[in-house]
Structure 1
Amino acid sequence: MEREPLEDALLGRKRERDLEEIKSVRQFMEHVWEEKKKLWYLAGPAIFTSLAQYSLGAVTQIFAGHLTTLELDAVSTENMVIAGLAFGIMLGMGSALETLCGQAFGAKQLHMLGIYMQRSWVILTAMCICLLPIYLFATHILLLFHQDAEIAVLAGRFSLYMIPQLFAYGLNFPIQKFLQAQSKVMTMAVVSAVALLFHLFLSWLLIVQFKLGLVGAATSLNAAWWVVVVGQFIYVAWGYCPGAWNGFSWGAFRDLGAFARLSIASAIMMCLEFWFYMFLIVLAGNLRNAQVAVAAISICINLYGWEMMVFFGFNAAISVRISNELGAGRPRAAKFSILVVIMSSLVFGLVFFSLVLVLQDVYGVPFTNSPDVVAAVTDLAVVFSFTLLLSSVQPVLTGVAVGAGWQTLVAYINLGCYYLVGIPVGCLLAYYFDLGVKGMWSGMLTGVGLQTLVLIGVTVGTNWDKEAMEAESRIKKWGGSVDEPTNKD
């Protein structure tokens, strides 16, 4: 059963006073336990939702294995490059709502949540239209990057089929952030589970039974994403978000400029991070014995993607906790949430770190029959394990930044650490010192480490009382002139 906002407010204010008066280890651990319950209430369903939605594309690729190798390559290319680019931009722009909706919910300005969601729909739909040329001219874009001609042509055709998915992204992420800010994460998990099961059945029916090939794969994947969108919106429209959703409003078209700037800053922050690892694969293609290098990195990044879904759950949880607490004017609770979430996420990071080192000789075996690739994957075990360890903390710190509204600052930090330090150092080690793919990844890992240290410094040095006051002014700023929930279309 989801906690009522009023109950949260009363308990939150009492806890803010209690945190100020911690005088023993026992009191500290009691508060840690309380925070952990709040954390897992959010993180558990968020992790499942991330895994389920990440699996939609993976399921399509698995079923594409029943087709020809060329069709499998086309589906994989579209899913990773074209759809991956759109996914990163839409998710990044949608994450602006993590700040605004979370802080508005904490401040009990519930009617603004629906307005914010509708503003985000307007902005993201406009961005979908801007991204349409990438889908329409996917073949030419892939050929420009020297992709195999047959794969580029077929991936371009599949991209045309997948245009409905693009617009589903534009509607889905604002709804998710709207629900997430209210801690209605279990609803997201249930809808995602239904969509995944539906996708499994429809893919089997259309691809295996009816032999519809790429058309069947596209139909199933598009339908699954629209099941997610429609399912979540039905939940909202049927009155399960009282006060937060009051119908469509003309207020959604006001103050779009300021809202768009925060959305774009969020997208830049997120995309700079996503594209960093895409650069790793591209640069590896220029190394000696490139096929083995790319295969080894692809296996590691495949595993990295699945494991990052766990850390994204913590990212979502801390973003909600920080934005809610700051919006409610509870800076001590916000700081305590950061401490507990980092402790919890770091435990998972240490587990993944240990597993990779213990299984370094075999963890690449399920993905390839090539002894050379397995050996290359084994050689990457140490640097890969440290990547997972750092990545257990880094998404939490990014979630703190989103919850506090620091998207523009983190975008600059990502640009400097990843692209001005990580990539140049990686190229230096790989090419000048001839350390190959291991040198490339090690160098880029310095960028991740530096970014983590900088974010830790920013978080520790933050005046959270001041952040709570800025959250109040941000709510007023982006609330615009919408004061009443009765202005319906």
Structure 2
Amino acid sequence: MAPSTSRPIAGAAHHQYSPRNSYVGTSPLARQAIARDLRDDVEDPRHPEASLEDGATGSEDEAASDSESSTVRPLKHQSSMGYSMTGSYHRPSFVASGPRGTVLSSLQLPDQNYLTKEEIERINNDERSLLRDNHMIPPKHPRRLSESSGHFTSRIGRQLSIRGDRRKSKHDEETAGTSQAGPADEPPSETTALLGDNQLPYGGEDTPDNIDRKWEAAVAAGKIQTSWQREAKVLGKYSRSLIVTFLLQYSLTVASIFTVGRLGKLELGAVSLASMTANIFGYAIYQGLATSLDTLCAQAYGSGRKHLVGLQFQRMVFFLWVITIPIGIIWLSASAILKHIIPEAKLAELAGLYLKVLLIGAPGYAAFESGKRFVQAQGLFSANMYVLLFCAPLNAFLNWLLVWKLKFGFVGAPIAVAVTDTALPLCLLLYVRFVAGRECWGGFTWRAFHNWGPMIKLALPGLVMVEAEFLAFEILTLVASYISTTHLAAQSVLSTITSITFQIPFPISIAASTRIANLIGATLSDAAKTAAKVCIVVACIVGICNITLLSTLRNYIPQLFTNDPDVIELVAKILPLCAAFQLFDALAANCGGILRGLGRQEVGGYANLFCYYAIAMPLSFSTCFVLHWDLFGLWTGPALALGLVALIEGIFIARTSWDHAVEEAQKRNTLT
């Protein structure tokens, strides 16, 4: 996803917030949808402020007052060279979660000419940190002249004086700040804090205007550099919450497999088969269709009419609930359908029972997928993590309670999932009501049942992309059912293990793409290249750790999922192959993240589709059934495909001109 470097036209506050200027959509369908909503909004008596034509009239004082109280901010002024990191800010990629997460990079999001307070603060912190590291502003805790020498005694004295310095009275701090504050027209020089007595953080130079001015000058002069240590720290900071979120979300599926696996291999295989069916003919459809909100909610938020975000959310919820009707028909008929596809009738019956119960939670899951976009459009990317921090442990507890404590047996697992799927949107609702995001809810409206056309058209590409990614691995489960029940149960365990390990490098790739895109948009090609190198090194470390873990514990990990000795033996036999491609898996994921940061996500998309469907699937089928390698043959295809994807993406990145990538980003900005 290319970084957006668009800027609003400079002018008065009321002009900047005018809907005709406050959003620039890359999708004509999205522009038409929002424009129609804005016209309808004028006629809505509940929003009298919308009576101003296009929001472009009214007093400047009122517009300025609105902008003061709003959490939305226009982008800061951009020089003609486009050096500000604010204009290049790239939000984290929108992702369809699942066993193999999908980055929806083919969907072009609107140019972000608005930012929330949190985003502006994050950007200012990034710019300030880089300026500090490059000695363009003083450090956060400046030293006195007597402490600036490198003598050992000075360093010891400085360490001993930390506690005393922290006990300075508020009066002393205010006095020191007043004595060092210079005239407004004489900002401190680059050496003032080091040579004087200024004890303010960053030498008192930590003001937005000063940071902007110094940043633009430093970038123009080519003085901004970064280091491996800094980029590793930033990558860890950006990715840690994503890793937690991905692991928590996937744990909703893992909990059922852990719990049911000990009932027997037949039950374990049935859960795997039911999960495959639910993913392909349910969850992937919900996630794919909900991707249109990534554009519509973001543009509605940028239009300045925040209640339109709630309108788009309502439309998608009602649409997905309508889609639940055909999905429900498939799930209710799953037993009869699967009996004609797989050879084991009992497996089909259990899988069908699982899906029938799971259908109870489908409306809740659909609402949660829409709700995630509702809060993400407002820059609230941690909301999902906080909800899962409660619901994931709840799901694990319910699985244990229903399956084992209350003796519900197999049917207890889908009941636990259905309850959790229903709890997810309710918890998100509580977050919006009591924490953040409420300002974008304008109440229920009948307008949510109109203007569905653009939303559906925008949703179809996302649906195709998510389904393509899900099918590549889920189809292996269906094929394994033709070998034997033992092989299907083993496939369930192997798929779960490799999916868990994937939840670490994949979030790192999302964080890396965001960081690289921001640096490229800010014309810092060398810094972006350094960030990419750090990303590759981190991917190698994660891959090697996964290889070591799966290889050394290959005889113990299967026992966490099942008690069946045949399944344990088969999993232990195939696990070294799964361990072998962990390095390729991590590299492929993070190379894809680098490509998204470069704005060349199509390279990774084509490489994945070609390697999975033209190479992996035919190879898996032939080695499994022609050469009779069985489950080992099934996993040979994906292992080779991941290696080829990593190789193709790696070669492309190695041959990429980072300066040319910066030029392309500037061209996109100019065209915008």
TM range (shorter): 0.7 to 0.9
Q: Which residue of 2 aligns with 1:7?
A: 121
* 2:421 corresponds to which of 191, 205, 225: 225
Q: Which residue of 2 aligns with 1:49?
A: 245
Q: Which residue of 2 aligns with 1:308?
A: 502
Identify unmatched segments of 5+ residues in structure 2.
1-115, 131-214
Q: Which residue of 1 aligns with 2:642?
A: 448
TM-score of the two chains, using structure 2 as the length reference: 0.57
Q: Which residue of 2 aligns with 1:423?
A: 617
Query: Is this contact kept in 2: 1:269–1:414, CA < 8 A?
Result: no
Query: Is this contact kept in 2: 1:329–1:469, CA < 8 A?
Result: no
My pick for the range that moved more, 155-164 or 357-366, is 357-366
The one-character-per-residue Cα deviations of 1:374-415 (angstroms, maximum 9, x if unpaired) are 554454344312322222233345556778898887665443
How far did 1:216 drift?
Answer: 5.1
Inter-partner Cα distance in structure 2 for 1:258 and 1:457? 39
* 1:349 corresponds to which of 516, 539, 543: 543
Inter-partner Cα distance in structure 1 for 2:652 and 2:304? 28
How far did 1:303 drift?
Answer: 0.9
Q: Is it true that 1:392 corresponds to 2:506 in the alignment?
A: no
How far did 1:227 drift?
Answer: 1.7
Query: Is this contact kept in 1: 2:269–2:489, CA < 8 A?
Result: no
Q: Which residue of 2 aligns with 1:273?
A: 469
Inter-partner Cα distance in structure 2 for 1:440 and 1:150? 24
Name which one, 1 or 2, has greater alpha-carbon Rg.
2
Which secondary structure state, in structure 1, belongs to the residue aligned with residue 227 of structure 2?
A: helix
Inter-partner Cα distance in structure 2 for 1:411 and 1:152? 34
* 1:27 corresponds to which of 226, 236, 241: 226
* 2:283 corresponds to which of 84, 87, 105: 87
Q: Is it true that 1:165 corresponds to 2:364 in the alignment?
A: no
Higher relative contact order (CA 8 A, sep 6+): 1
Alignment of 1:40-119 (within 5 A): 43-64=239-260, 74-83=270-279, 85-95=281-291, 111=306, 117-118=313-314
Q: Which residue of 1 aligns with 2:185?
A: none
Query: Is this contact kept in 1: 2:276–2:477, CA < 8 A?
Result: no
Alignment of 1:222-371 (within 5 A): 222-238=418-434, 240-241=436-437, 257-285=453-481, 290=484, 293-318=487-512, 325=518, 330=522, 332=524, 335=528, 340-360=534-554, 363-364=557-558, 366-367=560-561
How far did 1:136 drift?
Answer: 2.3
Amino acid at match of 2:118: E
Inter-partner Cα distance in structure 2 for 1:19 and 1:80? 50
How far did 1:341 drift?
Answer: 4.1
Inter-partner Cα distance in structure 2 for 1:65 and 1:374? 11
Inter-partner Cα distance in structure 2 for 1:57 and 1:472? 46
Amino acid at match of 1:28: S
Q: 1:463 to 1:53 in 2, by over 3 A?
A: same
How far did 1:418 drift?
Answer: 0.8
Query: Is this contact kept in 1: 2:245–2:385, CA < 8 A?
Result: yes
The one-character-per-residue Cα deviations of 1:40-63 (angstroms, maximum 9, x if unpaired) are xxx323322322232233334555
Inter-partner Cα distance in structure 1 for 2:453 and 2:603? 19
Q: 1:440 to 1:196 in 2, by over 3 A?
A: closer
* 1:133 corresponds to which of 319, 325, 329: 329
State the percentage of identical aligned residues: 25
How far did 1:469 drift?
Answer: 6.6
Inter-partner Cα distance in structure 2 for 1:420 and 1:84? 20
The one-character-per-residue Cα deviations of 1:166-200 (angstroms, maximum 9, x if unpaired) are 22222212323444566644432232122233334
* 2:577 corresponds to which of 383, 387, 395: 383
Q: 1:365 to 1:211 in 2, by over 3 A?
A: closer
Inter-partner Cα distance in structure 2 for 1:57 and 1:246? 34
Query: Is this contact kept in 2: 1:102–1:320, CA < 8 A?
Result: no
Q: Which residue of 2 aligns with 1:176?
A: 372
Aligned-residue RMSD, C-alpha: 4.6
Q: 1:259 to 1:391 in 2, by over 3 A?
A: farther
TM-score of the two chains, using structure 1 as the length reference: 0.74
Q: Which residue of 2 aligns with 1:484?
A: none
* 2:235 corresponds to which of 36, 39, 51: 36
Amino acid at match of 2:391: A
Q: Is it true that 1:155 corresponds to 2:368 in the alignment?
A: no
How far did 1:137 drift?
Answer: 1.2
Inter-partner Cα distance in structure 2 for 1:203 and 1:109? 44
Query: Is this contact kept in 2: 1:35–1:340, CA < 8 A?
Result: no
The one-character-per-residue Cα deviations of 1:204-238 (angstroms, maximum 9, x if unpaired) are 55555555556654443222222221111232244
